[in-house]
Chains A and B, each alone.
Chain A
């Protein structure tokens, strides 16, 4: 980031939530970069930025789409980069129909299931192959199933698979079915005027932002984007990020110093917990979790990850998978038994946190481990979370403090309202004290994919244990209990390699685990030696490795994550600080920092280039490309895998080697980002008849009600938009801050931030109390009246936004307590990654404290009945369109119905 000439921070409050990383923005600024902050509120990030652009929450696709349109219509894109390195020139097949032609849905939409069949989004194939390019193995997986396993998220580090890469390209970009022309048509109506009317951004400010980006992109300059949960936590969150990716590709800002899109990670090792996942649908290294009935054999499984005929490194997934299984099951894993592939659990549906919560309410879940999380405060619809906990038989909470999730049975707000009585809760709650980050050693993997080793400073107090020790001990005890069992179902546990060395205190050696993750040679003359690169992994069981992308972190027996050469003692790339996956590369896809012939785009942005004499890629970083591949190399038609990468295919993990402006596969809710309003919005979608993302995951339940939107009757009952966020002074749901007096003192009470105009409109006083009511619940907060929140003019109407930090919860154990903003939220999820929409929703606000006891429930239900909301409200998948349009949609769609279909009948989330 320090090398960027313009930094656009959107969907993130970087200075407040990532203050340490923000030093690189400060550094860029000190070098003369422009810093632009686009956010509903003026925050501590805005205070440092050159420009703050207030935006209506949830409208980022309109803004980004309009910049894309501006760039395309005025020929401001980086032409040479776009033609050579993206799929702009690639042709899409004839069946594709855009949202512009179907009033808000793409071709292939099935209104009964709310899912897309993406066959019509495929690339056109060259005449020597058939029709269109599908997923490998014939694309027989129903899309509803891909969605149920959050398929988009499985593509955490790679592009979706393609059968082969024999695409048709028109490098003049003129063919009407080139991605370039499709993109142009798709964003034609995303204009500065639309931005003004939808986002509330004046036209001159739009041009200022657009100019900053275009002036600071190209050969000589680069622009960097940074986002965090302000982009992800929406019912189309993944598409917000796709929109930025399209813009950055068009401007030539990927794979180059000072470019890229920084996904700012919300807390320690969140990147690490997707690399070595805590997610239900992933195995380490972004290998997908196998699905019941589809991946019965290792062969079935591998054939869906990648086709041998596509380009890039995913074709090597058999080696990654075999090495993983060897790391887990050791000698028990052999080629003959598919390396114990059968031992892996299979997915039978979506098992995300919200689906699990609803399954608890329905009595389908007996036990629950809560580790490093405080769902009673920190998850959307926190009220539903607390009620669900009371349906468990047992609950284990491992935390530093007695968080609200551990004490819900005695002091949750539902006890105060009389809905729940302590004596009726049958859940047995176990609280186990956890060691803090200074009391254990191990790695953190942060933004930028960097592993950094952390040394233990002090031993954990009392019975507190690290996660590593706890799970090792738990596994050991379970294995002891099962020892001698002949039952087949116990084999996976008994065959696990579960033998890490412990020190004199009984603490497991974290470096031993990191060595196992790194992997080693198992046979041959190198047997026992640690691997230095994932390219050494083999599919025949001769290597092991717990996470292929981490291979190399322990190369040569040295823990490279513990490298700590100060920055003043090395060059700017700082390769000797920590270790970044893969292969200690600091910028991914850095082949794109050179032109198609391999020369740096400019002296100023020189990074990795082709050394003609040496016949190698060289530069400041580890080249992210086959190191001896000549820029002029062209593969033979039947080549696959890394061998099929042409000398100008910089996106080596994409199935066609190109950056995807248009995503023919991989996104479950459309190949191009399209603006939909949030689940709850006081504004009608001015672009399409389709109000909301037609593929969002909905849960029509009586305990998950929504305000009517736009012009629907009753929407004026909840006329204001609220957004939730964090403050520097606290950490997420408060478990690491509300118990600390020094932090609690700095932000002692729950508050709401309102504009002076709204305060006047409803009679709020600075420092006084306000009650905020949504269709789910009502909370109280102290009032901060501030110019940092501005009313916006949306299509000629004034729209007020309210800011709510979400750190507080009700529980008597903390130093400070308060109502939780998450109580106001409902559950609606992005279909790609199953993240909840918690950055935008509707509410009312009024002066004074909220009622106590049963009165609170009465207030909430009085609002609900005034708004006329029912379980069906806002749960329509598609909105009414004229019959002619319905016919067109049907013609372009999947089998079945026309017109609008309510989803109330086929309730999701309980399966």
Chain B
């Protein structure tokens, strides 16, 4: 794929594309919502480190979520979703279908590798992981090989049950982990900027305030941003926002910094520069938020989703780990326990600039056409 084509869509490593030479490996988060305890330490650590003002001091009456969503003053946000038995059954079923029926786009066919995503594909969101770089195993293969290898070892282990070694789908005492459908569940998930491979916000920024860092992340420079707001509409996830004067200061002088300026997670660019872990991942007490190279995060995420499927939690699925999706994969990958919409995430995000080349081509053609028509008009004029 040519350098220019890689700039707008498809698989790529964004930092070298942005001109970084000898860039470090791309960094990212893996947020495993299946072990999140909703403590919101990530929200607080993020606000503390980045000295962000408050959204406000009002009770939302929406479960335990009082910050609402990602925005100019909330760069990590924990969603709380209360669900009934029916909804859990649906989530389990929809997750199972992703594997058993074989989703289009789950593991892009080799023929499609290097080309544009297959037409009509749901682009991997809400699906098990696609093979990395087009040649890794997909979830079905991973599940199959895991089962096969266990069949071998369990014979060798002999009295595994008595010594307490658990089989994958059961607890130590042999109880199926997934059990009967519970009456109720409470999902918690910490959301954050996706640091897309193809970031709409960055592509449309007219001032250069947004830039691609050497770590492959997307960062806003508040002192360069002029507050035009193009980026706000260009983010397919609704992450970036301009700070309004409704924000509440945490400072004694009551000052709210950067009103009118676009704001979002920087993946702690300043901490990364000093080889430190981002504040949210550093503080997470259950390792629900992990930080590392993006490839490592995707690998861990896949192992975890395989493990959960083996245990019978078919509702588990990855989000953002497919490089063939509409944003070329995200730097922040997630393990969800239901459809992305349940958490307020778009099921099939597409960077609005993906079709920029085509649009230019078409606009160019139209322009040429118009020019031609105009010329014809002159040509056709009576002398």
Contact = CB atoms under 8 A, between A and B. Distances in A.
Interface stretch (A448-456, A621-629, A736-744): A736-744
Interface stretch (A40-48, A291-299, A859-867): A40-48
Contacts of B188: 44, 47
A745 B56 contact: yes
Given A16-B37, A44-B188, A742-B47, A34 B285 contact: no
B164 A221 contact: yes
A624 B202 CA distance: 63
A22 interface: yes
Contact of B39 (A6, A15, A33, A782): A15
B57 interface: yes
B64 A747 contact: yes
A748 B59 contact: yes
A602 B162 CA distance: 11
Given A741-B250, A786-B63, A787-B84, A19 B285 contact: yes
A727 B56 CA distance: 19
A42 B186 contact: yes
B54 A742 contact: yes
A729 B48 CA distance: 15
B360 interface: no
B66 A44 contact: no
A746 B66 contact: yes
Contact of A5 (B41, B58, B172, B286): B172
B163 interface: yes
B37 A22 contact: yes
Contacts of B248: 741, 745
Nearest to B186: A47
Given A19-B39, A742-B47, A743-B44, A216 B250 contact: no
Given A34-B175, A745-B54, A47 B285 contact: no
Interface residues of A, number: 52
- Interface hub of B82, B171, B185, B186 (most chain A Cβ within 10 A): B171
A32 interface: yes
B67 interface: yes
B366 interface: no
Contacts of A16: 37, 39
Query: Among the interface residues B40, B64, B170, which one has the most CB atoms of the partner chain A within 10 A?
Result: B64
Contacts of A44: 37-39, 64, 186, 188
Given A44-B39, A748-B59, A220 B162 contact: yes
Interface in B220-278: 248, 250
Nearest to B60: A767
Contact of A728 (B39, B47, B60, B173): B39
A238 interface: no
Contacts of B48: 742
Contacts of B377: none
Contact of A48 (B35, B41, B173): B35
Interface residues of B, number: 47
B44 A32 contact: no
Interface string A745-773: 11111010000000000000011000000
Contacts of B250: 741-742
B185 A47 contact: yes
B61 A782 contact: yes
A432 interface: no
A747 B40 CA distance: 11
Given A22-B286, A32-B170, A34-B173, A749 B59 contact: yes
Given A34-B172, A742-B44, A786-B63, A5 B164 contact: yes
A15 B186 CA distance: 13
Given A220-B163, A815-B57, A746 B43 contact: yes
A815 B162 CA distance: 56
A215 interface: yes
Contacts of A52: 182, 184
A206 B170 CA distance: 20
B208 interface: no
Interface in B60-115: 60-61, 63-64, 66-67, 82, 84
B166 interface: yes
B55 interface: yes
Contacts of B19: none
B177 interface: yes
A5 B174 CA distance: 11
Interface in A843-901: none
B206 interface: no
A8 to B, nearest CB: 13
Given A50-B171, A50-B175, 17 more contacts: A5-B173, A19-B39, A20-B285, A22-B37, A32-B170, A47-B37, A47-B186, A51-B179, A741-B250, A745-B57, A745-B67, A745-B248, A746-B43, A748-B58, A767-B61, A782-B61, A815-B57
7 contacts: A6-B172, A23-B287, A33-B171, A42-B184, A221-B172, A742-B54, A747-B64
Interface of A: 5-6, 15-16, 19-20, 22-23, 26, 31-34, 42, 44-48, 50-52, 212, 215-216, 220-221, 603-604, 727-729, 741-749, 751, 766-767, 782-784, 786-788, 815-816
